[in-house]
Structure 1
Amino acid sequence: MSRSLLNTLFDYKAWANVELFDVLSTVTSETDLHTAIRTMNHIYVVDRIFRAHLLGEAHGYEASNTRTTPTLEELRAAVQETDAWYQQYVSSLDEDALAAGIRFRFTDGDSGLMSREEILMHVITHGGYHRGNVGQVLKNIAINPPRDILTKFLHASEPQRRLV
């Protein structure tokens, strides 16, 4: 996979997160909002765990979610910071760095080995999967979730693509 495509995918991920947090800020059902925040927090924690793996650092998490639930505003700020880190990080990599293998431990203690590129794709696909879960929570309470699709992002960020 090219670094250019990874850059696009991480820009898309950041955009999709902003779109979803905007909609979540309108949710009035505390129970459904809590469910959505827990899911978004899981994405965030996994992003942070794999960020630590990429850097060869300890992450300090014992599980793929936290015991306490942040507020929507706290989580939004933390996600934006992490998304910005991934956008910058991907921009700094070359082909050799993308292909390099990284050994790590999962939170359950099992060992793992993935290339940087595989880790980055996991972060992208994992986030998309769980944003879809949050979209279903929104549908269940009659709120339309944002259209979390790459084609919408590409055409929103580059409107000239519509001028064909």
Structure 2
Amino acid sequence: MKTIMRMMDHLYWADGRILDALEASDTKDTELLKLVRHVAVAEQVWLSRLEGRGNVQYWLWEEAEDLPEIRRMFEANAKDYRNYIGKLEESALDQMISYSSQNGRSFQTSVRDILLQVLLHGQYHRGQINRALRMEGAEPAPVDYITFARL
């Protein structure tokens, strides 16, 4: 549990760093903004499933232009995940969660694997965002776990 909590702390930190880099770049790349919004919404989707709120419809690939609004989404996600994980017992990590995907397909996945999905999905897309920033001539955000661990 301690490892997952530490990795989630990294996720919150990395989400903030990538938003800082996007703001500093002053990018107008709508696909890049759509991608960062996608990360925030995917975090919401998985938490909704973990909390058993049913198959709430989220729009994973909606256009986005408002970085302050996306930052508020990430901040709310961090607060909600901290609250969820703070109540979670170690034994609950292996509990199976039943849910439907966005296209209606049914699945069962452990809490542990869902949390790892959230962690790895965000890191994957932050790498894509950093690459795009570099290609625009902007400064990418160092979001590696070791950078966080050294703080």
- TM-score by length of structure 2 reads 0.93
Report how far residue 90 of structure 1 moved.
1.7
Q: Which has the larger radius of gyration?
A: 1
2:10 partner letter: Y
1-structure distance, mates of 2:46, 2:31 = 23
2-structure distance, mates of 1:53, 1:134 = 26
> What is the aligned partner in structure 1 of residue 73 from structure 2?
78
What fraction of aligned residue pairs are identical, expressed as a percent? 23
Sort the Cα spacing of 1:77 and 1:63 in 2 relative to 1 into closer, same or farther, 3 A: closer
Q: Which moved more, 1:10-19 or 1:89-98?
A: 89-98
- TM-score by length of structure 1 reads 0.86
| Structure 2 segments unaligned to the other structure (5+ residues) | none
Q: Which moved more, 1:141-150 or 1:82-91?
A: 82-91
SS of match in other structure, 1:130 = helix
2-structure distance, mates of 1:39, 1:144 = 17
CA contact (8 A) 1:63 1:107 kept: no
Matched, 1:126 2:124: no
Structure 1 segments of 4+ aligned residues over 3 angstroms from their partners: none
Matched, 1:99 2:73: no
Question: What is the RMSD of the two structures over their aligned residues, measured on CA atoms?
Answer: 1.5
Mapping for residues 27-66 of structure 1, pairs under 5 Å: 27-30=25-28, 32=29, 34-61=30-57, 63-66=59-62
1-structure distance, mates of 2:52, 2:111 = 11
> What is the aligned partner in structure 2 of residue 162 from structure 1?
none
1-structure distance, mates of 2:65, 2:55 = 18
